[in-house]
Structure 1
Amino acid sequence: MPRPSTPSIDDLLTRLLRIAEDLAWSWHEPAQRPFAMLDPIAWEARNHAPIETVLSTSKARIAAAAADACFLQALDAAERTLADARRAPRWFKSNHRGRDRRLKVAYYCSEFAIHESMQQYSGGLGVLAGDHVKSAEDLGVPLVGVGLLYRHGYYRQQFEADGSQRILYPTYDFDRYPLEETGSSVACPIGRRSVTARIMRLALGDTSLLLLDADLPENRPADRRLTEGLYKGEPDLRMRQQVLLGVGGAMALEAMDERPTVHHLNEGHAAFAAVERIARLVEEGTDRSDAVARVRASTVFTTHTPVPAGHDRYPARDAAAVMSSVLRRAGFTSRSFADLGRETPGDRSEPLCMTILALRLAEHVNGVAKLHGEVSREMWRSVYPEAETLKDVPIGSITNGVHPGTWLDPAAAAFWRRHIRLKPELAKPDEAAWSKATNVDPAAAWELRNVLRARLVGSMRDRLVRQSVQRGDDPSERLAAGAGLREDALTIGFARRFATYKRAPLIFRDRARLAAMLNDPDRPVQIVFAGKAHPRDGEGQEFAGMVYRMSRRPEFRGRIAILEEYDMRIGRELTSGCDVWLNNPIRPHEASGTSGMKPPMHLGVNCSILDGWWPEGFDGRNGFEIVGEPKRSGAAARDAADAHAMYEVLEDHLIPEFFARGRDGVPKRWMKRALRSAATIPGPFSTHRMVADYVTQAYLPANRP
C-alpha cells in the first residue's frame, strides 16, 4: 500500500493560517490542538495566539510537523471540526420562516472579548459582547458586530513591591491578528473635521466583526488617538471615540453593503448611530418625525449600568459641536438634539446623557437581569413622563449569560459528555441535559473537582513565581511565591473588574477572624484574587493594591494570592478551578455579573449577595446567600454588616460542609450542592438562551415595524 505523500511546508502553513483566520477556533478546542502541538512553548508564551505561534516556530520544527502523522491527523481533525460547525443545523433557520428570515442585526459595542490573545476588551461588557456574537454564530442568528480596533487595547497590569500598579500600554501588531483588511474605509465627520478610518474584519465562522481603525497617516495626531486605546484619555476624547463608534460604525455598515434590519446598541456608547441613521433617512426624503419613528422602531438598546454616575454625560454644546455635520443633515438644532439626551428637555444647564439619548431613540430597551430591569425603570422613570406607574416604564430585562464553548473546560466537557450525554457542540437555547447533573455519582464529580483545583494551583504557583521574578525579588522570595498554596485546600475565587462597588477588600474587614479561618490546619482555605480597575479610578486601583498588600502579610502568606493581568485565560483557569466563587457587591449596584455563571459548569458553587443575576439563579440548594444589609445607614455600617454576614456563611456553613467527609473521603453534602449548581445554572444562564431571548423579545419585534 503506497504511503501518503508528505505535504510541503507551504501547504502546511496555508492550512494552519486558514484555521487561524477563522476565530471559531477560539471556542472549538480541537481546532487549537495543531498550534499547541507545533510548538507548545511558543503556544503558551504567545497567550494561545495561533498566527504568532506559527510565525515564531522554526522552519525545522514546521518541517518535522509536516512529516508527523499524528500532527497531520490533528490538523485534519481541526479542519473537520470547523467545517462540521458550519454545516450543523442552526436553531434560527430551523425555527423561523418568512419575513423573520430576513432579520439582520447590527450589534454595536465599544469592546469585544473574543480571545485572550487579542486584548480588545477591559471587562464584563466586552466579555458579554464577545459571547453574544459567538452564540449568534452558533445559533445561526444573522448578525454583524461593529466596534473599534485599538492599537494599545486595554492596559497591562504589574504590581510593585508596595502594591502600587504599573500601567503598561503595549502596541499590538495587527499583522499578527487574524484580521482581514477589507480595502474599504469611511470618512467620519467629527466636529469640523473628517476622520478617515479603515474597516477591518474579524471572521467568526459566518459572522463578522467590523472594526474601525483611525490610526492612519492621513489623520491628524489627535484623530489617530481615537483608536489608540480602550477607555483612555479625557472625556472629550471619549466623546469623539463614541462619534466614531456610532456614526462611523453606521457608515461602515453601508460601505460594506451590510443591510441590517435591526440595530442593537450594547450600552450607550454607540447612541450616535441612531442620529446618523435619522440623518440618512432625512437625506433620502423622509420627514424627520417619520425618520425618528422608523429608527426608534428598529433600534434595540441594552443598558448595563445601574449607577447614575456610571453613564456618560457631556456638555450639550460640546456634543452638538462634534455632531454638527450629522445634525445639519438630520435637521436637528443644537437645542433639539441636546433635549433628546436630557431627563428634562429645555433645561439648558443639564448635560447630554448618552444613555438617555439611546433610551429616546430605541423602542426596545432592556436591562441585563430582572433586578437590574427594576432598578432601570426606577432610575429612568423621568424619561417616560407618560408612564403612570413604574410598571409602565418601557424597560424590560433579558438576563445575561455565558458562552458554553468559550468557558466550558475541555476536561469538564468530556466529563459531562460521559455522565449526562451533554453535546456542547450542538447549540440550543434550552439545553436540558444539564438537569441530569444531580444524578451523577458524587465520587466521580469530586474526582473531577480535585483535578481542576490541582491544575489551577499549579498554574497559580507558576504565575506567582513569574510575578516575583518580574518584581526583582530576591531568591528566597521567589522560592516562597506560591509555595503555601495547597491542592487540597478549599479554594475561593474573587476575580472581576476592581470597581469600588464590587468591594474586593471587604473580606479583610476583620483580619483576625479571616486569618483564623484560613490557617486552620485541619481545614485549609485559600483565596485567589484577580482583576483590574479603570486606569483613572484611583480608589479602584487602591483596592487592588490593598489586596496585594494583604497577600504579603505574614498571617495571609500562602493563603491569599492576587494574580496580575486578569484576562480571559486567567478567567477560564479560575472559574474552572475554584470551589467557590465569591461576590459581595453593594446591592443593587451589580447590573448582572457573569463570572459566577461559569464555575457551576465545573462543579463550583457561588457565595454571593443577592444582586445582579444571583436572585434568579439561587434556589437555596445550589450555592450560598450572603444576607447583607444594603439599607444600613452609612457605608461603614453597611460594609461591617455585610462582612459579618459573609464570615457567618463561611464559618457556619460553607467551610464545615466542604470538609465534612465520608469514609470514602467525599464531602457528600457539598457535592450534592455542587451537582445542584451544575443542574440549575449552566442551562438557563448561557448566551444561547440569552441570544434566543433577544431574537424573540427584541430583534423580531424590531424587524416587524
Structure 2
Amino acid sequence: MGTQPNYPHIVKGRRLGAYMRIAIMQNEVVMMQKSGAVYFSAEFGLDESLPIYSGGLGILAGDHIKAAADQNVPLTGVGIFYGHGYFQQRIDEGGSQQHLYPKVDLNASIYPVQLVQDENGQPLIIEVPIAGRLVYAKAWSVQVGSVTVYLLNTDVESNSEADRRLTDTLYPSEQGIRISQEILLGIGGTRLIAALGIQPDVWHMNEGHCAFLTFERIRMLSAAGVPFQTALEVVKASTVFTTHTPVPAGHDVFSIDLMDRFFSDYYWQLGTDRDGVLSLGQMNGAFNMTRLAVSTSSKVNGVSKLHGVVTQDLFHHWMPHIPRQDIPVDAITNGIHIGTWLADGMKGLFDRYLQYDWSIRTAEPEVWSPVHDIPSSELWEAHLEAKSSMIQSFNLPLSTSNGGPLIIGFARRFATYKRALLIFSDPDRLARILGDSERPVCLVFSGKAHPSDGPGQELIRRIVELSREERFKGRVFIVENYAMDKAKKLVQGVDVWLNTPIKPMEASGTSGQKAAVNGVLNCSVLDGWWAEGYNGRNGWAIDGSADGDVGVNGEHQAKLDSEALYRLLEEEIIPLYYKRDEDQGLPADWVNKMKESICSLAPLFNTHRMISDYWNKVYLKASARGQRFASDGFEVASRVAAYKQFIRNNWSGVRVRKVDILADHSGRIGLHKTAFRAEIVLGAIWLRDVRIEAVGSDGRQGIWKVKLEPVQQEAKGVYIYEGSSFDRSINFWKANVNVRVTPISPDFANDFEMELASWGFQ
C-alpha cells in the first residue's frame, strides 16, 4: 500500500501485538447435546486480533462471553465472521476518514479460529434460504475457556461471487446485503446450532439484528406439525432480548417490499400466512427488527436503569394504551471484563494488596475495600506507568515528568449525539485552559465514524483542523484506527475520561467503566451507567441544568453543558490534579479520588456481576419457562395460544361502562377509605381472566394502582367491581383516575404480555 505520510497531528495506527491467549478447539466438533444458553450477536469484540466488531455492542458481547467462561456459565455464542472485518481507519492530511478493508487471512497463525468440521472431517456447511435461493455458509469456532463462539461465513465455493461477498464487512449500508446478513445470522445461526446437536434451554438475542432466529425456530416446529400460534408460544417462552439502542433511528427497519422479496418462499413454512408472519414485526408500514424481538421474547431488558426507562418510553409509542411505567422492560446494567481492560501494573498492585482470589470475586464490594489502603505513592506510580506506556505507544510528544500534563481522553464512535465537539464550544476559553504553562492540559481523541455517517466523519475532520491551529498545537491529538488495542491504552493511560452525549441517548456506555477500574476519573453527563455510578466523590457530573431536566432544545442544552464542563475543568478538575502534597509531591487528593472511584465502581460495573444478573434474573427463569411450555407435547403452549386467541376474538366487547369514586365511603369490601366502584362489561370473557384496577398519576412521574374485586353480577357478562385504598398521599381527584381492564393468566411472563387494555375514559 506504500508508506503512509507522517502527519504530526495524527497518531498513525499500528498493531500493538496483544493477541488473544485462548485455546484453539480440536479440528473435529463432537456432536453432542448441550444445555444452557445460546447467545446471538452481530459482532463479538473478543480481542484485537479478531476484527469482527465495530464498537460498544461487540465489545460488550465479547466481555459477556469471557465472563460466562470465568463463571462456568453454560453458554454458546453465535455470530458472523466478517472476511474484511470492520473497516480500518486512516485519516488523510485533510482530516478525512479513509476506509480500508484488508482481507483477514485465516490461514495466518495469529487468528485463534478453527474451521468447524463434521463427523467425517469435512467442513460443516449450512444452507440458508435468502431471497428464494440457497446460500451456503461454513462456520469457524473460537474457544474462550469453556465457551465456544461459532462464526458463519459465506466465502464458500458453492456460492455465487456475490454471495461469497455477503459476509465481507460489518454493518453494510446496502439494505439487501444488510437483511441478507441478518437472515444468515438468525436463520443460519439457528440451523448451525441444530447441526451441531446443541439444544439450548435459553435463546438470548443481543440486539435485534439476530431476531430472524425466531422465524427459523417457529419453522422447525411447524415442520414437526406444531401449529403456528403454539410454536410461537414455545419459542417466546425460552427467548430473551437485550436492546441497546435508545432512539428509534437506531433500530433496523426493512420495507415490506424487501421482506416480500427475501421471504416470499419462506412465509408459508412457518405454518401461517404472510400477514401472520409480518404481524410479528410490522410497525408504521415497515418491518421493525426490534418489534419482532419484543413480540417473540418472554423477557426484555435495557442495559442501564435509565435506558430501561427510555426503552419503556420508546415502546410506549407502540403500546399507547399501556402507561410507560407498565411497559414490561427490565434493566441489567452493562459491565466490563476487568481482566481484559486492566493495566498490567494496576493488576500487579491489586494482586499484592487485595485478597488472593480478588479476580474471581470482582462483584463483591468488600473485595475492593483494601484499595483504600494501597499506599498513594504506589497507586500513583502504577497510573504513571500506564500513562507513559500510552504516550510511547501513540508517539505523543509528551512527558510524565512530575505526572506530566493532565490528559483528558475522549474515545468512542463518532456520532453526532455523542457531541465530540462540545468541549470546543468556546475555543478561546478552551485555548486558555489547555495552554496554561503552569497547569497544561491535553486532549486525546480517537474513534471511527460509520462509512455512511457523513456528519460523524465531519466531526473527525473538524477535530483534525482544530488540532492544527496554533493555539491547540501540542495540546490536541487524534489517534486513528480506534480498536481494542488503542482502547486499552487510552482507558489505562489518560487521567480523565470525558463523555458528553445528549442525555438520554447513551444507552449505557462502558468505556468509562474500563477507565474507572484503572483509576482514571470520569467526567461525564449523567447518562447511561454514570447516572447510577456517580456518587459525588468518584468523579464529576456534567449537569448543565439546575434541576437535571433535559427538556430544553439541543442548542441551549449544549450551551448549558459546555459551561458546566468548563467550570468543572477550571474550578475543580485542573486545580485538584495540580495540587501536590508537600511531603511526597503527589496529588494526594486526586489519588484519594482514584481510590474512591475504583472502590465504588469496580464491584458494580463488571461482567461477573452482569453475567450473574443474567443467570439469576433471566436465564434460569426463561429455562424453566421454556421447558414447561415444551413439555407434555406442548400442552401449556397450546393452552396459552388458544386462550390468547379467545381473548383477542372477544376483546372488542370489553368496556368500562361506569366509574364512581367515593371518598371516605364504607363500601362492600372496605372500611372508611377512598373507594372505587366500576361497572364492567366482559361479554364472553370470564371475570377471573381479567384484572380490574383504578389507575392514576402520582404527580411524581409514577402511577398508583388499586385493584378492584368483583362484588356482584348485574347481567350476563356485566359485573360490578369495587376496591379501596388507605393511602392518603394519593390524590384521588376524578380527573386523575381511570379504570383499566387487562387480560391475565398465571402462564403469562408478565402482566401485559398480550399488550391489551381497555380503559374507562379513552
Q: Distance in 1 between matches of 2:398 and 2:531?
A: 38
Cα deviation per residue 1:512-557 (whole Å; 9 max; x = unaligned)?
1111111111111111110001110000011111111111111111
2:575 to 631, 656, 665: 656
Counterpart of 2:6? none
Contact preservation (8 Å) 1:404, 1:424: no
Residue correspondences, number = 592
Task: Give the C-alpha shift of residue 598 in structure 1.
Answer: 1.0
Counterpart of 2:269? 329
Task: Give the C-alpha shift of residue 275 in structure 1.
Answer: 1.1
Counterpart of 2:422? 506
Contact preservation (8 Å) 1:138, 1:427: no
Q: Distance in 1 between matches of 2:428 and 2:470?
A: 12
Please, which runs of 5 or more residues in structure 2 have no aligned partner? Answer: 1-12, 25-32, 117-122, 626-762
1:643 to 542, 562, 578: 562
Q: Distance in 1 between matches of 2:216 and 2:556?
A: 48
2:310 to 359, 375, 385: 375
Q: What letter corresponds to residue 601 of structure 1 in structure 2? A: V
Q: Residue 525 in 1 paired to residue 444 in 2?
A: no
Q: Residue 685 in 1 paired to residue 685 in 2?
A: no
Q: Distance in 2 between matches of 1:115 and 1:431?
A: 28
Contact preservation (8 Å) 1:103, 1:700: no
Contact preservation (8 Å) 1:185, 1:255: no
Counterpart of 1:15? none
2:336 to 398, 402, 416: 402
Q: Distance in 2 between matches of 1:420 and 1:520?
A: 39
Q: Distance in 1 between matches of 2:209 and 2:267?
A: 18
Q: Distance in 1 between matches of 2:519 and 2:229?
A: 54
Task: Give the C-alpha shift of residue 565 in structure 1.
Answer: 0.5
Q: Distance in 1 between matches of 2:81 and 2:564?
A: 44
2:17 to 9, 34, 48: 48
Q: TM-score, normalised by structure 1?
A: 0.81
Counterpart of 1:452? 386
Q: Distance in 2 between matches of 1:526 and 1:313?
A: 41
Higher mean C-alpha deviation, range 323-332 or range 639-648? 323-332
User: Cα–Cα, structure 1 residues 134 and 325, in superposed 2: closer, same or farther, change >3 Å?
Assistant: farther
Cα deviation per residue 1:120-155 (whole Å; 9 max; x = unaligned)?
110000000000001001100011100111111011
Q: Distance in 2 between matches of 1:607 and 1:432?
A: 25
1:362 to 290, 294, 297: 297
Identity of aligned residues (%): 40
1:226 is paired with a residue whose SS is: coil
Task: Give the C-alpha shift of residue 422 in structure 1.
Answer: 5.5
Q: Distance in 2 between matches of 1:308 and 1:393?
A: 16
Q: Distance in 2 between matches of 1:577 and 1:422?
A: 25
Task: Give the C-alpha shift of residue 661 in structure 1.
Answer: 1.0
Contact preservation (8 Å) 2:526, 2:541: yes
Counterpart of 2:459? 543
User: Cα–Cα, structure 1 residues 180 and 102, in superposed 2: closer, same or farther, change >3 Å?
Assistant: closer
Q: Distance in 2 between matches of 1:220 and 1:600?
A: 49
Cα deviation per residue 1:303-350 (whole Å; 9 max; x = unaligned)?
00001111111112311331334322112322222221134xxxxx61
Higher mean C-alpha deviation, range 588-597 or range 514-523? 514-523
Task: Return the structure number with greater strand share.
Answer: 2
Higher mean C-alpha deviation, range 416-425 or range 142-151? 416-425
Counterpart of 1:9? none
Structure with larger Rg: 2
RMSD, matched Cα: 2.1
Q: Distance in 1 between matches of 2:34 and 2:163?
A: 37
Q: Distance in 2 between matches of 1:540 and 1:422?
A: 45
Task: Give the C-alpha shift of residue 385 in structure 1.
Answer: 6.1
Task: Give the C-alpha shift of residue 483 in structure 1.
Answer: 5.8
Cα deviation per residue 1:244-299 (whole Å; 9 max; x = unaligned)?
10000100101111111110000000010011101111111222111111111100
Task: Give the C-alpha shift of residue 608 in structure 1.
Answer: 0.3
Q: Residue 158 in 1 paired to residue 90 in 2?
A: yes
2:54 is paired with a residue whose SS is: coil
Q: Distance in 1 between matches of 2:389 and 2:103?
A: 32
Q: What letter corresponds to residue 59 of structure 2 in structure 1? A: V
Q: Distance in 2 between matches of 1:522 and 1:437?
A: 31
Contact preservation (8 Å) 1:250, 1:273: yes
Counterpart of 1:19? none
1:418 to 338, 344, 352: 352
Q: Which residues in structure 2 correspond to 1:99-114 (within 5 Å)?
A: 103-114=35-46
1:258 to 198, 220, 224: 198
2:466 is paired with a residue whose SS is: helix
Q: Distance in 2 between matches of 1:279 and 1:401?
A: 35
1:227 is paired with a residue whose SS is: coil
Q: Residue 607 in 1 paired to residue 523 in 2?
A: yes
User: Cα–Cα, structure 1 residues 428 and 490, in superposed 2: closer, same or farther, change >3 Å?
Assistant: closer
Q: Distance in 2 between matches of 1:350 and 1:396?
A: 28
Counterpart of 1:126? 58
Counterpart of 2:500? 584
Q: TM-score, normalised by structure 2?
A: 0.75
Q: Distance in 1 between matches of 2:319 and 2:620?
A: 24
1:380 is paired with a residue whose SS is: helix
User: Cα–Cα, structure 1 residues 505 and 568, in superposed 2: closer, same or farther, change >3 Å?
Assistant: same
Q: Which residues in structure 2 correspond to 1:66-465 (within 5 Å)?
A: 103-176=35-108, 177-182=111-116, 183-343=123-283, 350-384=285-319, 387=322, 389-421=323-355, 423-426=357-360, 429-430=363-364, 432-461=366-395
Q: Distance in 2 between matches of 1:222 and 1:374?
A: 42
Q: What letter corresponds to residue 124 of structure 1 in structure 2? A: G
Q: Distance in 1 between matches of 2:280 and 2:325?
A: 23
User: Cα–Cα, structure 1 residues 585 and 46, in superposed 2: closer, same or farther, change >3 Å?
Assistant: closer
Task: Return the structure number with greater helix share.
Answer: 1
Q: Distance in 1 between matches of 2:105 and 2:365?
A: 39
Q: What letter corresponds to residue 571 of structure 2 in structure 1? A: D
Q: Residue 669 in 1 paired to residue 589 in 2?
A: yes
